Structure 1
């Protein structure tokens, strides 16, 4: 039985860098600080909002239940009939995977063009696996909007080539494209037993269940070979032990079933590798074992090189799974967890996997019946869990979470949660040493609708019992958290303490509200934690329940950028509120929603607030005047603007004529600074400072460009807004 791990009910009172590789070629990559975190992947992803498009960009948005809030980077591109998004291919490729959305109840296709020539093959798109409702999970709304569809191109394309997609039959919102060079089919291992030799049908028409069972029985101690083809199984496999199940590659050997292995125990030494299991799960039914693996593979087993999609859970692991290795897999579009290590296991290693679009925790350990022990999640890349956490550790002894990259959590989750939430008994709370090391969290944390204020990017939660384990959090990078960075809380509302926490070596950039959100009694020591562009204050320290005890923050030295404390425990700071202790050095415009009257090619409005001076907005050409507008999120007394162009020698000096306007409501604008010429010269950093008069109070900042001496368009690589003159 599957028990929800997303129902984080709390009894409380009421984004990646873009690198320009060539003209018009923009590829989304992890920032340099993230290089050590995440999986080594066989594909390169390109965000649709960074590509050339005739469609409409949506987002950014962090509001639960909106399409953009579940998108990678919280942005995507909506295509109506006749509209396209064109990607510049970042690497030699022969395969394409598209993350997309279509309106509920609709299906259709994406036509694919390679360097302008339409392929005969199309990418099928459907809402069949989207729009999931889980009314029994408090705080859940309709979610799981995106899906993935893949295509072998039938030809090789090179870096710099153009691949465009356009909808056929329905509107399509394109989120991200993965480009991959898929290796040729692998050869059958010598001495293996082919499922086809036992009667399996590679056309997918016949039922191959018995043939798989017969091949497993015949190959004990050896290998079952799954040749290229599509195989349909109508019931699960059990009694699987002492055998290798191997395919020709996950793009070639495909098993269609919603429950592949289902068994309560095994003698082990099961190795599953190099094929795809694609299910037909269209809703979440927690009493149904609609999982790739349900139960136990037994000790000393492995799962590698798999493509797992359209199931409830990838691996729901109970019983003896000691020394299991799960590595180099893709787990996509599950309606619940990607993987849950559900008690008793020892020495499990889950590493170098890619998970996208999970409907609950992407990776979880839940110490039910007995503790998970000496197990780890390492070097995994997780994106867009759309209901719960990226990584969740619920109890367990001597657990490690190392070098993972987690991005874009939604609704009821943090990037990483270290928790004593038990869900049911018997439960084994956290014990020994919990190591959380080298992880990077991007746009993680969310507004919890049950709490009426947020979950942090990294949460330590004494939900059902005190945390007495030693929790060591080291070398963490937290970027663009919409709310807080580190949260210490007793989420069940019982005021249990959070003790023995050490946070050492963290970089926090552009957090929406606070660096530390402390809402439990207990203590933590912080060393070498640096923060920049803090939204409201460094610390929110307000225990719940009131008078349940205080949280002590010990300064171990080397901390900077987050000394101020939010003084009013009756209110939760809003992102970018900047009060009562605003950071005057925070760029209020960075990462905020930007629009313009026109844009040229890929040089879209958001490029002027992405924090990267090498990317830029360029207006429609030969069409002055042109305006660029940013929403700062709340009214602010802005005193100074810094306008930048790329600091490249290729950008010659120029003068732009600019008027600064402001608005508090986005409708009525007044002139803040009259039209003036501003000189941009590479010799002086290609930037210009615009002082604004004292008393300027605006939420919406608009720059109107009426002339440019070097190009017939308005151009900004960064627009920065500060409270200091």
Structure 2
């Protein structure tokens, strides 16, 4: 079997697939020029406000509402189940057929990503519609947009049917303020009920390199099947040439089909087996390779030409009978062996895209982009879209490094370290539009220990949290940027829930920035904090240090410590220390305490606070001795509102200042401190 392939053959294959058309040209030298016409933002903010936070990515973001358009700007609106609420910055542009939005490139680019939404089909299942792309007035291409991977409805675990009745008739429905029971008819609900997950993304190589100052116009053409097209964000970048590896087992030599017409799963298996025998890497050249099942990986390196060029694309396939783990489907994914079987190790994946076909949430399905147990392994430079979870790891496992990866448009989480993952990290990874937590450590049955989420960006999680830590020991969350969570969660979450092992040792939450966070909790009918602690299953009692974080433009509270009503006298939250914090704008308070326990505060500066600085309800027993939650002032806690410092002396240590649902005062946009 051939062990490599010539440069000429690889180049010919690339040219035959048209992939080199997007490669940089000499005009790339113009790449550092900037144009003020369409501002560059990060999470819809001036990048200077979040400098040093979030992932280092090769693209720049531009908001449609800041571009030239004859369409209609929608938003701002943070109300769940609305198009603006799920948009970056809570604004977007709606185009009717014939209307356009035009961006000015801030630097040289040969590729764009468009975040958009189009309507669902009347009966669900999605539609497709065109979007014309013109550069400098000359049409370059027509994108095909789809809503087949968006538009979910109803209660968890959601439905693709806009006409579905309640999936959980016994659940609290805040829309009617009632609790349906067997003796009470289910409420009449408006249909479609709770539409959500509206957005998707499409990528395009432009065919040549354009300079800073050139214009990219996106037009919803007349006669489009879509009654409207919402454009949220344009990402533009200069994609380098495809990477070539001659000293590798090339999957083309084993029968892989780069056109995507034939399934290449068996060819990948053969290439992996050959590479392991000969101690070579596996190389997947430019092309679209169809893979409709899991590829088992262990002690192997698999490299692509770059995620813009090498695409592993799969269909979701019905299984003839449910698998032992409960799966009823399979699909494209790279999986390590189960931890129970010893797991996999020494796996290195880089430089390709994984494109799934998951359109509904079935929690028992193993239809994730990457899964299993991977120890002593690396994952870098991937692009993952339309899977259930981008990466779900079941421990025990150790020493996994994930970096420089993009995960978008997931039905559930982007990455989850689940049960016994230790000494592992996620860094410089960009996440947008997840249907559940963006990044999570869930210490179910086994503690997650010594892990780090650092310098990542998480934008617009539709449900739950940007970054969530459920139990565990000695973990770190640092340098991340989290923006625009939509409902039933927030930016940063520390939760004793979901059967997680207790928090032990130290948890560091350091140098993060949150933007437009603090969502509305439908079940409680209250607003959450940008960072919130929830003691549901047990106490939160560890050394938790929240240091040098910026909480910007908080919809409700910046900080919340809470437990659930049935266990409010049972569980406490303590051992939490806030230091060197900046709070710029709250709709309600800086701190909302709705639990027993205590916390310390040092050098927490606040401004533009909408209500009383501390909303201290404790456990709602209102004893004469004061709230069951105590705040310790370690000094330097300044600012707040015109009413005075947010942590006024009369509030300490446990003055009851309980307003269960204070009026919300929308904060001004954040600015330089």
Per-residue CA deviations over 1:347-405 (Å, capped at 9, x if unaligned) read 00111000000000000000012100000100001100001100000000001000000
Per-residue CA deviations over 1:119-175 (Å, capped at 9, x if unaligned) read 1x2221111010123623567933111000000000111111111101131221000
Look up the match of 1:234.
292
2:156 is matched with which residue: 132, 136, 152?
Answer: 136
Look up the match of 2:40.
27
SS in structure 1 at match of 2:421: coil
Quote the offset at 1:26 in angstroms: 2.1
2:242 corresponds to 1:185: yes
Name the CA distance, whole Å, in 1 between partners of 2:148 and 2:403.
29
Query: Superposition pairs for residues 403-482 of structure 1, below 5 Å?
Result: 403-421=479-497, 423-424=498-499, 427-482=500-555
Look up the match of 1:147.
200
Name the CA distance, whole Å, in 2 between partners of 1:536 and 1:217.
64
Q: Would the alpha carbon gap of residues 236 and 492 (structure 1) be closer, same or farther in structure 2, given more than 3 Å must change?
A: farther
Name the CA distance, whole Å, in 1 between partners of 2:487 and 2:554.
13
Q: Would the alpha carbon gap of residues 354 and 23 (structure 1) be closer, same or farther in structure 2, given more than 3 Å must change?
A: closer
Quote the offset at 1:563 in angstroms: 3.0
Per-residue CA deviations over 1:679-700 (Å, capped at 9, x if unaligned) read xxxxxxxxxxxxxxxxxxxxxx
Name the CA distance, whole Å, in 2 between partners of 1:374 and 1:460.
20
Name the CA distance, whole Å, in 2 between partners of 1:408 and 1:35.
18
How high is the TM-score relative to the length of structure 2?
0.80
Q: Would the alpha carbon gap of residues 492 and 253 (structure 1) be closer, same or farther in structure 2, given more than 3 Å must change?
A: farther
Per-residue CA deviations over 1:201-252 (Å, capped at 9, x if unaligned) read 11000011111111111111431110100111121122x2110011000000
How high is the TM-score relative to the length of structure 1?
0.75
Quote the offset at 1:419 in angstroms: 1.3
What CA RMSD, in Å, does the superposition of the two structures yield over aligned residues? 2.0
2:406 is matched with which residue: 327, 330, 333?
Answer: 330
Name the CA distance, whole Å, in 2 between partners of 1:397 and 1:589.
36
Query: Superposition pairs for residues 567-606 of structure 1, below 5 Å?
Result: 569=658, 571-576=660-665, 590-591=668-669
Query: Superposition pairs for residues 92-491 of structure 1, below 5 Å?
Result: 92-105=108-121, 106-119=127-140, 121-133=141-153, 135-136=155-156, 141-168=194-221, 169=224, 170=226, 171-190=228-247, 192-220=248-276, 221-238=279-296, 240-257=297-314, 258-262=331-335, 263-265=337-339, 266-297=343-374, 299-421=375-497, 423-424=498-499, 427-491=500-564
Name the CA distance, whole Å, in 1 between partners of 2:600 and 2:149.
45
The structure number with the bigger radius of gyration is: 1
Any runs of at least 4 consecutive aligned residues in structure 1 with deviations exceeding 4 A, and if so which?
Answer: 20-23, 137-140, 564-568
Stretches of structure 1 that go unaligned for 5 or more consecutive residues are 1-19, 577-587, 592-609, 613-725
Name the CA distance, whole Å, in 2 between partners of 1:492 and 1:270.
46
Look up the match of 2:588.
513
Per-residue CA deviations over 1:249-305 (Å, capped at 9, x if unaligned) read 0000000123312331434000010000001111111111110112212x1011100
SS in structure 2 at match of 1:205: coil
Name the CA distance, whole Å, in 1 between partners of 2:364 and 2:422.
26
SS in structure 1 at match of 2:94: strand
SS in structure 2 at match of 1:530: strand
Look up the match of 1:555.
633
Quote the offset at 1:537 in angstroms: 1.6
Q: Would the alpha carbon gap of residues 363 and 493 (structure 1) be closer, same or farther in structure 2, given more than 3 Å must change?
A: farther
Q: Would the alpha carbon gap of residues 589 and 538 (structure 1) be closer, same or farther in structure 2, given more than 3 Å must change?
A: closer
Task: Indicate conservation of the 8 Å contact 2:396/2:446, yes or no.
Answer: no
Name the CA distance, whole Å, in 1 between partners of 2:129 and 2:49.
40
Look up the match of 1:39.
55
SS in structure 2 at match of 1:457: strand
Name the CA distance, whole Å, in 2 between partners of 1:468 and 1:503.
15
Per-residue CA deviations over 1:432-461 (Å, capped at 9, x if unaligned) read 000000000001110010010011101122
Look up the match of 1:599.
none
Stretches of structure 2 that go unaligned for 5 or more consecutive residues are 1-32, 122-126, 158-170, 174-192, 315-330, 640-645
Q: Normalized per residue, which structure has more strand?
A: 1
Per-residue CA deviations over 1:295-350 (Å, capped at 9, x if unaligned) read 212x1011100000001001110024300001000000000000000011110011
1:75 is matched with which residue: 91, 95, 102?
Answer: 91
Per-residue CA deviations over 1:593-621 (Å, capped at 9, x if unaligned) read xxxxxxxxxxxxxxxxx869xxxxxxxxx
2:615 is matched with which residue: 540, 557, 560?
Answer: 540
Name the CA distance, whole Å, in 2 between partners of 1:267 and 1:406.
32
Task: Indicate conservation of the 8 Å contact 1:447/1:453, yes or no.
Answer: yes
Task: Indicate conservation of the 8 Å contact 2:495/2:535, yes or no.
Answer: yes
Name the CA distance, whole Å, in 2 between partners of 1:107 and 1:200.
29
Task: Indicate conservation of the 8 Å contact 1:530/1:560, yes or no.
Answer: yes
Task: Indicate conservation of the 8 Å contact 2:614/2:657, yes or no.
Answer: no
Q: Would the alpha carbon gap of residues 43 and 356 (structure 1) be closer, same or farther in structure 2, given more than 3 Å must change?
A: same
Task: Indicate conservation of the 8 Å contact 1:281/1:310, yes or no.
Answer: yes
